[in-house]
């Protein structure tokens, strides 16, 4: 068994969390060809993305409390096995309705990786340490969406789109085995929670009422929704509108992910000398500036690959700075409810992203305009959330209070963190 604080455990948690982006990004190059094969238009094919996020969001509300009661490991293993079974169903689908159904089931299992990976980091580390580990984990995890579209495009060209889902199923089974036999249970016995409905309702109500949690969660969800607006629209904008070949789509997507990794690395470097809030405000500002640039180019009729790619790479650098700080900040007040807090955090994040994705799919006009305006709008809304909530209700250790005092507060649940 690996030590919980070892680098190998961090790598394993990153691989578990990566199942979420893999299930989204790996089949992106196949979306247009899947539409032809299943006789479905862009709006219905895009539903396979949004329905995945919707199922992902709902499942987290269940697997989070289950993991708070029974531990992280058993719920992750069961989730990965369910994901593998549903992946086979996706590969065998002969119509769009069947594919949508199995994508929903796939999401129910796949939610265990990200939600419980985040909770495990909170189990193992203090809030400020968790922000640094989240950034490291995010950098490693970002390799998944960097290589997933290229790998998906290769499988598409050789074996067809069905092989992408079979590969995802094999990955999830492998992860289930490694987690079952590779790491110890990170949740301490004295932090386990009851599964009584009144207890669950109390936990969720307590978490949802915490203004610090709301601020970090909304800021994260809005920035993530801007990211997902690109994920939803890019295959149709780049492949159908701008003429990028499906097998080369992964390279363009990889450039965007490189921006995200760059933002993560910047966050890690800045984390040695700046408080998380200072990193967060820089990331949100970069998202707003790059989103405005893309929208301005689209509104003025500049429809060129560089007019989409350059702003999106900059936007993703901002996302890479924002997500680790907001993930850690949202969970900071709940060391004994980390599973439930992570579940509610993920529910808000994925639900909002699903709505934004459907919005982009339904209003897509054949150009980059709708996608660009949506990205800019999400970034601006994230800035407003930061200014109205995060700045007023910072997580312990994220504001300007001494680090030692912040760490001493990290053992209670919940913690009032309003500024004077």
**How do the domains of the chain map onto residue ranges?**
8-187+210-397
Query: What's the rounded Cα separation, in Å, for the pair 306 and 385?
Result: 30
Which pLDDT belongs to residue 409? 39
According to the model, what pLDDT value does residue 90 have?
Answer: 95
> Quick check: 26 and 143 in contact, CB under 8 A?
no
Instruction: Give the model's pLDDT for residue 53.
Output: 84
Per-residue pLDDT of the chain (420 residues; tens, 9 = 90+): 666 667 777 778 888 888 877 898 899 888 888 988 999 887 888 889 889 988 988 887 888 778 888 888 899 899 999 999 999 999 999 999 999 999 999 999 988 887 777 778 777 877 667 777 777 776 666 677 778 888 898 899 899 999 999 999 999 999 899 888 887 888 777 777 777 778 778 888 999 999 999 999 999 999 999 999 998 898 889 988 898 887 788 888 889 988 998 998 898 888 888 888 999 999 999 999 999 999 999 999 999 999 999 999 999 999 999 998 998 899 888 877 777 787 788 889 988 998 998 889 888 888 999 999 999 999 999 999 999 999 999 988 776 544 333 344 334 444 333 333
Residue 408: its pLDDT value, please? 40
Q: Scanning the structure block, which residue is given the tokens 């119509």?
A: 95
Helix boundaries (H) for 235-304: 249-270, 276-299
Residue-level pLDDT at 378: 97
**What pTM was computed for the model?**
0.73
Residue 183 β-bridge partners: 2
Residue appearing with tokens 């579940």: 343
3-state helix, strand, coil split of the chain in percent (to 5) is: 80, 0, 20
Class of domain 8-187+210-397: mainly alpha
Decide: residue 184, CB within 10 A, 0-12 exposed, 13-18 middle, 19+ buried: exposed
C-alpha–C-alpha distance, residues 227 and 230, integer Å? 5
Q: Give the pLDDT confidence score for residue 417 in this predicted structure.
A: 38
- What's the CA gap between 23 and 30, in Å, rounded? 13
pLDDT at 403: 39
What's the rounded Cα separation, in Å, for the pair 36 and 38? 6
Q: Are 324 and 271 in contact (CB under 8 A)?
A: no
Can you give the pLDDT at residue 141?
Answer: 65
> Which tokens sit at 281?
């405000």
Q: Using the CB atoms, write b or e for 114-139: b if 16+ within 10 Å.
A: bbbbbbbbbbbbbbbbbbbbbbbbbb
């Amino acid at each position: 068994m690996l030590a919980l604080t070892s680098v190998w455990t961090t790598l394993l948690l990153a691989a578990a969390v990566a199942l979420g982006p893999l299930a989204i990004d790996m089949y992106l190059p196949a979306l247009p060809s899947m539409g032809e094969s299943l006789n479905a238009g862009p709006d219905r094919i895009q539903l396979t993305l949004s329905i995945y996020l919707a199922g992902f969001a709902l499942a987290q509300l269940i697997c989070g409390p289950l993991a708070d009661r029974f531990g992280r490991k058993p719920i992750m293993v069961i989730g990965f096995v369910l994901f593998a079974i549903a992946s086979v169903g996706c590969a065998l689908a002969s119509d769009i309705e069947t594919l949508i159904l199995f994508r929903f089931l796939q999401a129910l299992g796949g939610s265990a990786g990200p939600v419980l990976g985040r909770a495990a980091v909170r189990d193992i580390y203090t809030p400020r340490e968790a922000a640094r580990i989240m950034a490291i984990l995010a950098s490693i995890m970002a390799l998944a969406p960097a290589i997933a579209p290229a790998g998906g495009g290769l499988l598409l060209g050789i074996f067809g789109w069905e092989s992408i889902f079979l590969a995802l199923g094999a990955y999830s089974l492998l992860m289930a085995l490694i987690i079952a036999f590779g790491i110890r249970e990170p949740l301490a016995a004295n932090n386990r929670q009851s599964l009584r409905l009144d207890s669950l309702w109390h936990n969720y109500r307590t978490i949802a009422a915490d203004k610090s949690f709301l601020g970090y969660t909304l800021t994260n969800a809005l920035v993530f929704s801007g990211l997902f607006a690109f994920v939803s629209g890019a295959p149709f904008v780049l492949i159908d509108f701008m003429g990028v070949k499906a097998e080369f789509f992964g390279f363009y997507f990889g450039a965007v992910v490189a921006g995200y990794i760059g933002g993560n690395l910047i966050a890690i470097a800045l984390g040695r000398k700046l408080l998380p809030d200072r990193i967060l405000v820089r990331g949100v500002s970069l998202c707003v500036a790059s989103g405005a640039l893309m929208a301005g180019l689209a509104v003025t009729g500049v429809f060129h690959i560089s007019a989409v790619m350059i702003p999106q790479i900059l936007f993703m650098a901002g996302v890479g700075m924002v997500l680790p700080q907001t993930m850690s900040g949202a969970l900071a007040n709940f060391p004994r409810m980390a599973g439930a807090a992570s579940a509610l955090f993920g529910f808000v994040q994925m639900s909002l992203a699903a709505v934004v994705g459907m919005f982009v799919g339904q209003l897509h006009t054949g150009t980059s305009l709708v996608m660009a305006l949506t990205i800019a709008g999400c970034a601006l809304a994230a800035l407003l959330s930061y200014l109205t909530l995060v700045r007023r209700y910072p997580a312990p250790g994220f504001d300007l209070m001494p680090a030692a005092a912040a760490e001493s507060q990290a053992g209670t649940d919940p913690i009032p963190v309003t500024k004077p």
